[in-house]
Amino acid sequence: ALDMAAKNGHVRPGITLMHTDRGTQYTSDEYARHAQKLGITRSVGRTGICYDNAWAESFNGTLKNERVHRTEYPTREHARFDITRYVELRYNTRRLHSTLGYRTPNEVEEAWHTANIAA
């Protein structure tokens, strides 16, 4: 996911922040080195606090309801391709989000970059 974000231009070295839970995959030395190489600042939530993970849980619920539970995946590769396509071509570009003022995530990101470049 980090490599895909970097490849698609969504990583701004020294600015991008990746917030995760305390899973071993996110607290490993290998992950830390890779994030540092990409210029991503790491952040982890406190133990036992669910609120900082609410966005991720909401996203996962939406993904499952709108795509995964409506599709049969014959292989993992098919699932990976289909879910990536859904996120990149539907969720981020066309799906309106009430918490974002009924804009898409890509619109919000573009507005943020425009405002911060102008400043």
Indicate if the pLDDT at residue 22 is higher than 70: yes
Average pLDDT over the chain, rounded to an integer: 89
The two tokens of residue 85 are 């396509």
At 52, list the tokens: 């900082």
**C-alpha to C-alpha distance for 77 and 44, rounded to whole angstroms:** 29
The pair of three-digit structure tokens given for residue 11, joined into one six-digit string: 């990583």
Q: What percent of the chain has pLDDT over 70?
A: 98
Integer-rounded Cα radius of gyration of the chain: 16
Q: Which residues are 42's β-sheet partners?
A: 18
Single pTM value for the model: 0.66
Residue 38 pLDDT > 70, yes or no?
yes
More confident residue, 58 or 34: 34
Per-residue pLDDT at 60 exceeds 80: yes
